[in-house]
Amino acid sequence: MANQTFFDEWVGRIIEFTNTTEPAGWMLEAKYAEGNDQDNPGQYFEYEGLQGDPSAAYGAFRCRNIYNSDDIAFMRIIMQIPCAGFEYATSTERARQATDVLTDMPATEIQCLDTLMKNKCKATPAIRHHEAIKQDGDGMVPGGFLHYILMDHAPGVELRRTQTISSPGNHFWSLSFDERARIRNAFREAWMECRRAGVSPTRAQLFWDSKFSKVYIVGFNRSDLARPTDIWTDVQWVDWQLADCPYLDGWSRQTHGNKDRWTL
């Protein structure tokens, strides 16, 4: 359910990674965002006697290394949640929905992140650790999946997407034309770097490091593994709100190359 929240009490928690050679503990300092794809009971129990697909909540946090207070990072959490209406059911009832099998969206996100980490992609913040565990008896779904993904905190300023390019809070469109051109060129390099690393990014967050003229792509929950047909076109700038153009009848997103009516 879009308006439901599941990470309200997570700030202040310490997340310990157990799959590292050195002690690794991280305190969650601030919640940046959260979302979920919670099913209602009708969806989950659609077929009598069969369980439906699991639901998940997604949290994004700033965190700090408890062994080195100068070390600040970003943590993505993917956690199984019960279907709507079962949040306050007994732990035994909630545990009946437990699974370690992710649905398509979180499974693809993790596959993309693991692919970027394996191929040492430089267009995304470095992924430090990824650990998958089962929730304990106090979890939302005891025995259900719980993934912690730790990565470097992106440097620079977030280029937050807004409803329109003229909406308040759109940092990119408040910049000079020359600065916007630098960002577009840097984004093209970042997109192509992700593509070379095996992932085609879609509608993620962008961070602009002006000092080094570098764009970082963060968040891959809508992305997918790269396909041979995934090639760069300047229409990507429109998709990522780094350019604007009129929606003309018959306009082809693949082949349209005339930018006379674009806003850059």
CA distance 94 to 82: 6
Name 97's Cβ contacts closer than 8 Å, sequence gap at least 6: 44, 51, 54, 80, 82, 83, 86, 141, 144
Which residues share a beta bridge with 158?
207
Q: Among all chains, which residue has been given the structure tokens 């009708």?
A: 42
Distance (Å) of CA 139 to CA 85, 91, 92, 113, 151: 16, 8, 11, 25, 24
Q: Residue 192 has what DSSP assignment?
A: H
* Residue in 178, 189, 176, 180 with CA at minimum distance from that of residue 159: 180
User: What is the percent of the chain with per-residue pLDDT over 90, rounded to a whole number?
Assistant: 62
CA distance 121 to 119: 6
Confidence (pLDDT) at 52:
66
Mean of the pLDDT values across residues 22-39? 90
CA distance 127 to 111: 13
Q: How many CB atoms lie within 10 A of CB 169?
A: 9
Q: What is the mean pLDDT of the chain?
A: 89
- DSSP labels, 64-77: EETT-TT-EEEEEE
Task: Tell me the pLDDT band of 3, cut-offs 50, 70 and 90.
Answer: confident
Q: How many CB atoms lie within 10 A of CB 189?
A: 15
| Residues 78-137: tens digit of each pLDDT | 999 998 888 889 999 999 999 998 888 889 999 999 999 999 999 999 999 999 999 999
Q: Among all chains, which residue has been given the structure tokens 């005339």?
A: 258
* Residue in 127, 120, 118 with CA at minimum distance from that of residue 152: 127
Mean of the pLDDT values across residues 4-25? 90
- Structure token pair of residue 201: 């990014």
Task: Tell me the pLDDT band of 48, cut-offs 50, 70 and 90.
Answer: very low
Confidence (pLDDT) at 210:
96
* Residue in 95, 101, 102 with CA at minimum distance from that of residue 138: 95
Q: Tell me phi and psi for residue 218, to 5 degrees.
A: -130, 130
Mean of the pLDDT values across residues 210-236? 92
Q: Among all chains, which residue has been given the structure tokens 């079962």?
A: 86
Task: Tell me the pLDDT band of 28, cut-offs 50, 70 and 90.
Answer: very high
- Structure token pair of residue 116: 């970027």
Confidence (pLDDT) at 74:
96
Whole-prediction pTM:
0.84
Confidence (pLDDT) at 50:
52
Confidence (pLDDT) at 41:
66
Length of the chain: 264
